[in-house]
């Protein structure tokens, strides 16, 4: 289990300190227009190691565009020798049509490329799946494939406190492939792990709570990303102390 991962988008000074990243894209237009060779050069210059790819907000109702985006993400996985792609579940026009699309086109592509989509939990009810439990049911009983579909567990998106977060982590542990670690307050998500927020990460960070081969990312809101410099050694030390 890696403890020293961080979401891209943090400042260069942070990326220079942390050598394992989730390579994240947020806006579809920027993603499709990015020169990946230039990106590759920058990653090599910083000697970064990529453990997962975070795709942009691909829409399941735009099937050809979804597949185009997935193909780019898969190429990046092969380039950086990683297997996990994070996807935000989108809204859909017809749920069954979206499920059929995933089973008939997306899953075979994942199988051919030996990669896995980790669907990320979100609060609300608008997406094809929102909560961790909904994603678990989705991959097990609707997509019927847990080899190439799993969960990206975002702690700050749960809006749950410590005991409930830990309960979900343990209940769905075998399906979680990526963890986005951040705290939350009533007004904001992606807050620092320590000193503020409703989750006690001294409890959460015990290694036995995590899936053994998962990628772990500290995801802080961009206006406070400098806190990762302070928190990262604390996270690493707490993981070591609790082995």
Query: Which pLDDT tens digit goes with each residue over 34-85?
Result: 999 999 999 999 888 999 999 999 999 999 999 999 999 999 999 999 999 9
What pLDDT is stored for residue 75 in this prediction? 97
Residue 25 near residue 86, CB atoms below 8 Å: no
What's the half-sphere exposure (Cβ side, CA atoms, 13 Å) at 3? 17
* Residue the block writes with tokens 């985006």: 69
Q: What is the mean pLDDT of residues 192-221?
A: 90
What angle do helix axes 63-80 and 36-45 make, rounded to 10 degrees?
30
Give the mean pLDDT of 114-142: 97
The pLDDT of 3-7, averaged and rounded, is 43
Share of the chain above pLDDT 70, in %: 88
DSSP annotation of 89 reads P
Could you give the dihedral angle defined by the CA atoms of residues 104, 105, 109 and 115, in that order, rounded to the nearest 10 degrees? -80
d(CA 157, CA 121): 7
Which domains, ranges and CATH numbers included, belong to the chain? Answer: 5-241 (3.20.20.150)
**Which whole number is the average pLDDT over 108-126?**
97
């Amino acid at each position: 289990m890696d403890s020293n991962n961080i979401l891209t988008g943090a400042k260069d000074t942070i990326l220079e300190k942390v050598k394992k990243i989730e390579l994240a894209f947020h806006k579809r237009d920027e993603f499709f227009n990015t020169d990946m060779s230039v990106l590759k050069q920058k990653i090599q210059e910083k000697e970064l190691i990529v453990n997962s790819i975070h795709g942009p907000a691909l829409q399941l109702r735009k099937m050809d565009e979804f597949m185009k985006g997935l193909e780019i993400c898969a190429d990046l996985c092969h380039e950086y020798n990683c297997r996990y792609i994070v996807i935000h579940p989108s809204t859909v026009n017809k749920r069954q049509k979206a499920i059929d699309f995933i089973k008939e086109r997306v899953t075979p592509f994942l199988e051919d490329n030996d990669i896995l989509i980790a669907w990320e939990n979100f609060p609300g009810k608008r997406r094809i799946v929102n909560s961790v439990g909904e994603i678990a049911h989705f991959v097990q009983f609707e997509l019927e494939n847990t080899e190439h579909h799993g969960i990206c567990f975002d702690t700050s998106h749960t809006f749950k406190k410590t005991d409930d977060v830990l309960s979900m982590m343990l209940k769905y542990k075998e399906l979680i492939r990526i963890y986005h670690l951040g705290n939350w307050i009533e007004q904001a998500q992606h807050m620092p792990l320590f000193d503020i927020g409703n989750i006690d990460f001294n409890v959460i960070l015990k290694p036995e709570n995590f899936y053994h081969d998962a990628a772990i990312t500290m995801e802080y809101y961009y206006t406070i990303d400098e806190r990762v410099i302070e928190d990262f050694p604390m996270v690493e030390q707490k993981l070591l102390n609790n082995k």
